[in-house]
Amino acid sequence: EIVLTQSPATLSLSPGERATLSCRASQSVSSYLAWYQQKPGQAPRLLIYDASNRATGIPARFSGSGSGTDFTLTISSLEPEDFAVYYCQQRSNWPRFTFGPGTKVDIK
């Protein structure tokens, strides 16, 4: 099983600041990595797939990068609605899809 580790566990920032979230895989997943956003009481929302492709309707302030074992989700300037939990997910080890434990972005 491919284990995904996310850091930090919690990121405390103010609106307008830049957020940088990390996801590390226990072995290479090539570029087969996605990022999801989840707000309390809601289902997850796909933001990024194949490491750097924004899903339909996702604002340009969200960007993804990385390949192999190290990946980054960047939110260029935090909007009030961006405070949420973010998960990474790999689909490289088909079909043993796994998710990371999440990074909570909260308001400083």
Partner 1 sequence: QVQLVESGGGLVKPGGSLRLSCAASGFTFSDYYMSWIRQAPGKGLEWVSYISSSGSTIYYADSVKGRFTISRDNAKNSLYLQMNSLRAEDTAVYYCARDIEMIPSGYFQHWGQGTLVTVSS
Q: Which chain residues interact with partner 1 by CB under 8 A?
A: 32, 34, 36, 43-46, 49-50, 55-56, 87, 89, 91, 94-102
User: Which of 51, 57, 97 lies closest to 73, judged by CA?
Assistant: 51
Q: In the complex with partner 1, which residue's Cβ is closer, 82 or 90?
A: 90
Helix/strand/coil for 8: coil
Residue 26: other Cβ atoms inside 10 A: 14
Q: In the complex with partner 1, which residue's Cβ is closer, 68 or 102?
A: 102
Q: In the complex with partner 1, which residue's Cβ is closer, 50 or 70?
A: 50
Q: In the complex with partner 1, which residue's Cβ is closer, 14 or 56?
A: 56
Beta strands in 1-108 (DSSP E): 4-7, 10-13, 19-25, 33-38, 45-49, 53-54, 62-67, 70-75, 85-90, 98-99, 103-107
Q: Tell the smallest beta-carbon distance from residue 50 to partner 1 (Å).
A: 8
* Residue found under tokens 């939990």: 85
Q: Tell the smallest beta-carbon distance from residue 8 to partner 1 (Å).
A: 15
Q: Tell the smallest beta-carbon distance from residue 41 to partner 1 (Å).
A: 9
